Copies of this chain bind each other. A is one copy, B any other.
Amino acid sequence: MLSFREKILESYRKKNSVLCVGLDPALPSQRKSNVIPSKYLDERNENKSRLNFCLSLVEATSKYCVAFKPNQQYVAGFTLEDHRKLTTAIRAAGCVSILDYKLNDIGDSIESAVFHIKRWGYDAITFNPFLGNIESTVNLAHSGDQKLGIIVLTLTSNPETVRYQKETKLNGKPIYLVVAEDVRRYEADGCVVGATGHVTVDEIKAIRNAAGSDKIFLVPGVGTQKGDPQKVVESGGNVLINVSRDVDYSESPGEKAKEYTELFRSLGAKFT
């Protein structure tokens, strides 16, 4: 079977887009705005409500994006069948599926997570390196017929990670660069790299240099979170730019996805 990188490239050739649509389905009881529109709601079944909404977004936007990224915190409670319906629809639309799961655990528990997530049908997951275990997780995820990509949280854009990821050092080196080196050494598939506020073009270039030019950078924080796609595009190719709320809760998700795809294309973003 194809590697995660090969799947992204295959989808990219068809779509000519670097847009990843994040799927963050919020129930009406969950918050005041940006919630699932009433037409998708099934009062007796919250999973069906969330799944219907996600499937409608896949249908509306798959022409203009290369990947979809459901966030675990929003699809919490989905069953094997729910996940399979979603990943099947994403694949049928010619796109790649990334579960934003932020996996972190030890030995047997990592094995259990990879077992379940492979059966759910995802092409890749995100991974948090605080417990180490990048090498063993990558080996397990890449073993067998089904290759599950591992995209490692490297430098995120929320303010507190200045302290926890930049100022925190191993032998004098910021921990985000140590993570980027581990991504190369252990052959993980990519890095999650923020695009907002404190993250600079120089830092993104340093991560690219450490991780390798072939790694996929997944860049969240664009759209409602006011990220700066230019920063990431400037730092080189192989960047997957994620937009969630600004597409999901738009009056016309298809139009919004098209706008973002054209914006990123105009900035020169591409996969190579």
Contact = CB atoms under 8 A, between A and B. Distances in A.
Given A73-B109, A112-B71, A168-B170, A160 B175 contact: no
A130 B102 CA distance: 11
Nearest to A132: B160
B170 A167 contact: yes
A271 to B, nearest CB: 26
Nearest to A167: B170
B158 A73 contact: no
A132 B24 contact: no
Contacts of A71: 105, 109, 112
Interface string A27-61: 00011000000000000001100000000000000
Interface-central residue, A71, A74, A106, by most chain B CB under 10 Å: A106
Given A102-B105, A169-B170, 14 more contacts: A24-B108, A24-B112, A31-B111, A71-B109, A73-B103, A73-B112, A73-B113, A107-B158, A129-B164, A130-B130, A131-B160, A132-B163, A132-B164, A133-B160
10 contacts: A46-B80, A71-B105, A73-B116, A77-B79, A79-B79, A130-B130, A131-B160, A131-B164, A163-B170, A168-B169
